Amino acid sequence: MPCLTELHSLFYPNGIKVIPSNIYDLLTPPALAHMVMGDGSTERHGLILCTDSYSIEDTIRLINVLIIKYRLECTLRVRRKNQYRIYIRQNSMSLLQRIVMPHMHSSMLYKLGPLL
């Protein structure tokens, strides 16, 4: 499908997985919900987005969008050398839930922790 080919070319230019420069426009609430369902993991009272395969620059680009566009409190975590993850703090979980719940499958709601 042409629309999937276009998205693939944005996220895999030259076969390398990246966060595209226009991620601000691409990261809609349904897209964020998809990211939580696929790469989200509960941790204590917050949420980890497993972005291990992205560079630090790409991970920070994504953090900036989460902070600016969605007002989520996020921090960068280093899992291993050259593996970075995004932690969404407990203070932002109720906001995250309001943003993504309408777009999530019921079987994935556990990733959001206790519903507030």
Please provide residue 34's backbone torsions phi and psi, each rounded to the nearest 5 degrees: -60, -40
Q: What is the pLDDT of residues 55-96, one digit of tens each?
A: 999 999 999 999 999 999 999 999 889 899 999 999 999 999
User: What's 52's domain CATH number?
Assistant: 3.10.28.10
Task: Determine, yes or no, domain membership for 68.
Answer: yes
Quick one: pLDDT at residue 116? 61
Task: Determine, yes or no, domain membership for 110.
Answer: no
Task: Determine, yes or no, domain membership for 4.
Answer: no
Task: Determine, yes or no, domain membership for 49.
Answer: yes
Contact call for residues 102 and 108 (beta carbons, < 8 A): no
Range of the domain at 26: 18-104
Q: How confident is the model at residue 98 (pLDDT cuts 50, 70, 90)?
A: very high
Q: Within 13 A of 44's CA, how many CA atoms are on the CB side?
A: 6
Task: Determine, yes or no, domain membership for 79.
Answer: yes
Task: Determine, yes or no, domain membership for 7.
Answer: no
Task: Determine, yes or no, domain membership for 29.
Answer: yes
Q: What is the pLDDT of residues 15-59, one digit of tens each?
A: 889 999 999 999 999 999 999 999 999 988 899 999 999 999 999
Question: What domain count does the chain have?
Answer: 1
List beta partners, residue 42.
47
